[in-house]
Amino acid sequence: MKQTEVCVIGSGPGGYVAAIKAAQLGKKVLVIDRDKVGGVCLNCGCIPSKALITAAGFYDKMQNGAAEMGITAGKTSVDMTKLQTWKQGVVNKLTGGVGQLLKANGCEYMTGEAKFKSPKELEVKTADGKTEVIQATSFIIATGSRPIEIPGFAFDQKNVLSSTEALSLDDLPKRLAVIGGGYIGLEIGSFYQKFGVEVTIIEATKGILTGVVDSDCSQVVARKLKKKGVNIIVNAKAISFKKSGSDLSVTISVDGKEQTVATDKILVTVGRKPNSDQLGLSAIGLKIDAKGFIQVDKQLRTNISHIFAIGDIAGQPMLAHKASREGIIAAEVIAGKNVVMDVKTIPAVIFTDPEIASAGMTVEEAQSKGFEVKVGQFPYAANGRALSMLESEGFVKIVTDKKNNVVLGVHIVGGEASQVISEAALAIEMGATAEDIASTIHPHPTLPEMMMEAAEAALGHPIHIFVKPDRERPLRPTSPPR
């Protein structure tokens, strides 16, 4: 029998942050994970995917952008084995760092499969086959989510891949069929396309990222994908696949008519589901909704007051930074602080080409909540830094309340949008107005200048684009890029 004050189940960006914070607040902490420290995000999700996306971006620039700058590159090739070794090196540095932080803060770490024996006890099956019983005063469940399988396409790690296997291939396939036009499928499909793979996106709805991001942003990405040669098939349902030698044939139904897609690998990215079915939660009476998410209040408490849940398993959005914030809140509540999860926005980034980043409400969301909106938009094509980076596609869009110019949402599509969105999140969180952003001096030449310029456009007096009176949507730039 092992006893502790706080037992954290899962060591991803929610779990390890919760553990460290609880330890900093004076609690005795035990962390349990069935695999490596760092969870999905560090080991087979956020970090490895962004490493590969970065490598693909370098390759693409060398192949297609360098000549425009007057740089003639020699023969460019991809050594996937070496690339995977480099990617794993990045992962190892980060997971090793997290392990050291847990140890430095006095957290104990255990590897094993955990299952609730009672509301106060866990049974943990360790790697050596032993079973340990853990008693704790408080529990934090942070066990995350896993890829969803669809009928006829069970993951076999060879022909049909989840995102995990797709990030670990040592050889480039000639063709890749991606079932699902959401952010995971588009991110992975995009980097494979840049390495020369023929990519087909099979999406069940009317377009990629439908209902996920601002529709104008998704259209820019769709145009770029098609320009790059990616085949996007919408209103398409994947039915089955057949294997003939090394070739695969995917049967799909498009508007009721069947057709086939030839490919070498199939990547299924239709979403993720919470890992709430692996902990014996129903046996202890923990409330779970119809989609498998654990129900929590604003303090991340479940219906069993000493058990908390954070991250993917506690509901949308399934984002690492949301999990980390929830982990801090849960730890502080356990330590006796009167705090709640109270945020105006959780920013999101999609690492497509170009990137999409958003914070706050879209125009449609704001209007549905009764706001009369005013929109300011500034194009990448009018920003000097963007042009110097060969990133002329995209825009920054600011959605404001027409009554008082308070910023309601910001949506960016373009190169390094991920580096610009944090200013937008801060603006929304602090209740900033378009005047606040427009009157803040932004350094030149930088991409964040477009936040200032879009705010000025929302106010009706942009400098580096021309907007006719009574128009809220800027026209093409008519002056030199700033």
Would you give the DSSP letter of residue 71? -
pLDDT higher than threshold 60 for residue 474: no
Mean pLDDT of the chain: 94
Instruction: Work out the average pLDDT over 284-302.
Output: 97
Min mean pLDDT across 68-72, 82-86, 379-383 is at: 68-72
pLDDT higher than threshold 70 for residue 470: no
Determine which one of 321, 411, 444, 464 is catalytic: 444
Q: On the CB side of 243, how many CA atoms lie within 13 Å of its CA?
A: 11
Predicted confidence at residue 360, as pLDDT, reads: 98
Instruction: Work out the average pLDDT over 114-121.
Output: 95
Instruction: Work out the average pLDDT over 466-482.
Output: 57
Nearest to 139 by CA among 15, 54, 252: 15
pLDDT higher than threshold 60 for residue 282: yes
pLDDT higher than threshold 60 for residue 465: yes
| Tokens read off for 52 | 């590969």
Residue 402's contacts (CB-CB under 8 Å, 6 or more residues apart) are: 371, 372, 373, 374
Q: Which overall architecture, per CATH, does domain 348-459 show?
A: 2-Layer Sandwich (3.30)
Three-state SS sequence of 214-263: CHHHHHHHHHHHHHCCCEEECCEEEEEEEEECCEEEEEEEECCEEEEEEE
Q: What is the pTM of this model?
A: 0.93
Percent of the chain with pLDDT over 70: 97
Instruction: Work out the average pLDDT over 427-454.
Output: 97
- Note the pLDDT tens digit of each residue in 18-67: 999 999 999 999 999 998 999 999 999 999 999 999 999 999 988 887 78
- Note the pLDDT tens digit of each residue in 330-368: 999 999 999 999 999 999 999 999 999 999 999 999 999
Establish whether domains 160-270 and 348-459 are of one fold. no
- Interaxial angle between packed helices 80-104 and 15-24, expressed in degrees from 0 to 180 and rounded to the nearest 10: 20
8 A C-beta contact, residue 253 and residue 266: no
The CATH number given to 2-146+273-334 is 3.50.50.60
Domain-by-domain residue ranges, the chain?
2-146+273-334, 160-270, 348-459
Would you give the DSSP letter of residue 295? P
Rounded Cα gap, residues 417 and 447, in angstroms: 8
Rounded Cα gap, residues 453 and 287, in angstroms: 48
- Note the pLDDT tens digit of each residue in 70-85: 888 778 899 999 999 9
| 306 annotated active-site | no
Q: Does domain 160-270 have CATH number 3.30.70.20?
A: no
